Chain A
Amino acid sequence: MIVRMRQIWVLIRKNLELYFKKGPVLVFGVLLPVFMIFAWIIGRTISPIQLFSGILGMAVFFLGTAISPVIFPWETREKNLEMTISCPITLLDLILSVTLSSMIYAVVITSIIYVFLILLLPISGWITIWFILGDFLLAWISSSIGSLISAIPTDITANIMTISSLIKFPLIFISGIFIPLSQLSPTFFYIALCSPITYFVDLLQSACGVGLLGIFNDLIILSIWGIVLFVLGYFLHRHTILKRL
């Protein structure tokens, strides 16, 4: 067990060290959300809580989906995947390490953003525990979405990034980030429930006392999303991994 944890850690370290500053990761994980956030907030009056939960929601989601989709196509192209497959590592551990790397990347950066937001906005630091739980969960979910998409057996990173954008943007737009859930019409309300980001945003809002679904419901639903997406990603990879070799 300890050996296995070390192996996974070695893989995570490798993923973080090699990919955190790769082009596609910076563009899709950092630049894009920064622009989106600016486009959203400039010239608008948004309540502090909406702003706070919205910025964090986008940051976690984009950072979480930044590294995980890149690794499989990249390493297929560079043949590193063949090496890792011939090492004593199971596919499960390989996917776990990819998902965890991207999650850690998102958690570290969003924690810094969180501290700034807490200092800048009139929001109490008491919600930190709920933020941490939600942060880990949404980062894990986003990262799982990324690795799930990368199960498409291509070795062209740009293809995966295009497909992942096609999935990511709708998930952002239908979520409760831009318009609070309570102001949505019933149809849009139900659509919003289809995005995992909604529950993260609502979690932060509930922690600040203005949420709709309640902290525990949000946490439970986020956990279910996390488990389902990861398992789905694992089975898809198991199905397609041989096509990469």
Chain B
Amino acid sequence: MLSINNLVKYFGQNKVLDSISFDLVEGRITGLLGPNGAGKTTTIRILTGVLPYTSGEIKLDGKPFNPRSKEWKTKLGIVPEISNAFLDYSPIKNLLFIGGVYGMPKKISKARSLKLLEDFGLIEKINNRTKRLSKGQKQRLNISMAMVHDPDFYFLDEPTTGLDIHSLQFIRNKILELKNTGKTILLTTHNLIEANLLCDEVLILNKGRIIAKGTPNELREKFAPASKILLEFEKPFDNFGLFEKLGISYEVTSTKNKIYFYTTNTIDDFPKIVELIKELKIEPITCEIKPSSLEEIFLKILEEDIK
């Protein structure tokens, strides 16, 4: 287990990480979410020993250690925000390079590289220059580069940004496979659906501070109504004021044909809404209960943080 305690990072006068604390646990995916410039990449670069930190404590299984040490770096697989493979090398050469600098015996590194290229659908591109790969192919190469030496810890900085559905799903499955083999994974993303799908724990980072953490479900319970109820009408409806008396908070869309009710008590509130519809003799074309998305929670948390 990797424990981060009160980690602070300054760039000059600029405080980029403000005393953040969290744990990374074996066999779990921790998601680091936050708007642009929140400090996600900086956190990863510190934990992977690229940048020094200003203060705080980082412990591995309870023992303080230096993340810039060789022993630690040997255990890491890193997928960077911006691909950093050698563009004039072929995919196989890039993988063998990683095998070499991580001190793997050549035979093993070669066998593993070939297997990864096969797995990641890059085998036809094996001798092309990396420069000539498409974005998705490059991203697959980056992930396979992180896996050559079979590390215990993975740090993935937006591994799925800008990929098509097919590659996206492929990479998400790979990440889940890694988790299932007991690896420790830290993942940054802007995509809340992804965080919801993959992460066991989510940390929400804003301006260098962790403003919320918990499982996707916990965050949902804590920060947002458990669900929303949608009524949709065929034509724009102009008498939404009638719903005021229910005392449930609601929101009308700009198209004026949908109304969302936000509630933490669906069991009581839903019948009330249905009752009122009957009373008013109006007929919505849709009436459904939706769990609130992580997206809404995220926005809500950020909103509260600004206040």
Contacts and interface: CB of A to CB of B under 8 A. Distances in A.
A245 B101 contact: no
Contacts, number: 65
Interface residues of B, number: 28
Contact of B45 (A80, A89, A245): A245
Contacts of B88: 18
Given A78-B87, A79-B83, A242 B51 contact: yes
Interface residues of A, number: 23
A14 B97 contact: yes
A80 B130 CA distance: 13
A186 interface: no
Contacts of B291: none
Given A87-B102, A88-B74, A10 B48 contact: no
A39 interface: no
A6 interface: yes
A79 to B, nearest CB: 4
Kindly name the residue among B52, B71, B93 whose own CB sees the greatest number of chain A CB atoms within 10 A: B93
Nearest to B103: A3
A22 B289 CA distance: 62
Interface in B57-99: 70-71, 73-74, 76, 78, 80, 82-89, 93, 97-98
B225 interface: no
Interface in B30-73: 45, 48-52, 70-71, 73
Contact of B103 (A6, A17, A80, A85): A6
Given A18-B86, A82-B80, A7 B100 contact: yes
Interface of B: 45, 48-52, 70-71, 73-74, 76, 78, 80, 82-89, 93, 97-98, 100-103
15 contacts: A6-B100, A7-B101, A17-B93, A18-B86, A82-B80, A82-B84, A83-B80, A84-B101, A86-B50, A86-B76, A87-B73, A88-B70, A242-B51, A245-B50, A245-B51
